[in-house]
Structure 1
Amino acid sequence: MSGPIKRSVMIAGHATSVSLEPVFWDALAEAAKAEDQPISALVARIDAQRIEHKDPANLASAIRVWLFERARAVR
């Protein structure tokens, strides 16, 4: 298992750096493909949901949780 990889993602016209482990980048790419949208659009949607919370988690954590919940719902 390797450590986090930092990538730049566009959200609302701004580049944002996100650090995720390769398994999460792969899962995010699969989810974006399944929803027929770019990774940046999916991350923007996750970010919009994240900031609605009273005490939002950081973006990388929000992505991990979203992916976990998605995987659990598929079962």
Structure 2
Amino acid sequence: MAGPVKRSVMIAGHATSISLEPIFWEALVQAAADLSLPLSALVARIDVQRIEADAPANLASAIRVWLFERALAGGVP
């Protein structure tokens, strides 16, 4: 198990730093490829869903939850 890795992703025209463990980065990259989306577009999509929530979590948490829910659904977003 490795600790979080910080990466910068462009969302809505500005760079956003996100810290995720390598396994989550790998899953996020794979999900973007499965959906034929650039990584930044998938992160932006997850961010929109996060912002619309009643009690928005931070972006890294929202990504982890999105990936977990996707895995539970059998890889369907």
Q: Normalising TM by the smaller chain, what interval?
A: over 0.9
Partner secondary structure for residue 2 of structure 1: coil
CA RMSD of aligned residues (A): 0.9
Normalization by structure 1: what TM-score? 0.97
Superposed, 1:60-71 pairs within 5 Å as: 60-71=60-71
List structure 1 runs of 4+ shifted beyond 2 angstroms.
none
Unaligned segments of structure 1, at least 5 residues? none
Unaligned segments of structure 2, at least 5 residues? none
Aligned to 2:40: 40
Normalization by structure 2: what TM-score? 0.95
Aligned to 1:54: 54
Identity of aligned residues (%): 73
Q: What letter is aligned with 1:72?
A: L
- Equivalenced residue count is 75
Partner secondary structure for residue 27 of structure 2: helix
